[in-house]
Amino acid sequence: MQITANLYECKHCSGSGTCTNGRDADACLACARKNELSFWQRKRNQKGLICGSCGGIGRAEPMTERMNKRMAPLLAILLTFFLFMLILIAVLLRSPYFSEIIAFSGAIIGSVAGFYFSSNQRAP
């Protein structure tokens, strides 16, 4: 699957890649935290830290786009896991409806696996 990212100029660092939003054009506390500085290092004046919002490239992808790209695969994983658990519970409890459960679950799991592992996926 060909996934493209729509990158926009980072509003936090104004496209420079270096945070200057703190006091006296120092890095802000959020960027200092993102750069994994200790508590005492964050309190000192830090200049030249990379922007925590864009990772220092000056361009960022909006959170809604990242969420939209991850939602379908996440739901597919959760649905497949839930159906496998349903089959396991039906086997352990010797459910009289096991044949219906396995037919229903097998069709859905097969569809999900076929979609994600097919070689000719079309790009949205």
| In the chain, domain spans | 8-60, 63-117
The residue among 117, 112, 115 whose CA lies nearest residue 79 is: 112
pLDDT score for 103: 95
Write down the pTM of the prediction. 0.55
DSSP 44: S
Asked whether the beta carbons of 121 and 2 are under 8 A apart, the reply is no
DSSP 8: E
First to last CA, the chain: 9
Q: What is the dihedral of CA 112, 85, 69, 19, to 10 degrees?
A: -160
pLDDT score for 96: 94
pLDDT score for 41: 66
Over the chain (124 residues), the average pLDDT of each successive run of 10 is 72 85 81 75 74 83 78 91 96 94 94 82 54
pLDDT score for 43: 65
Asked whether the beta carbons of 95 and 101 are under 8 A apart, the reply is yes
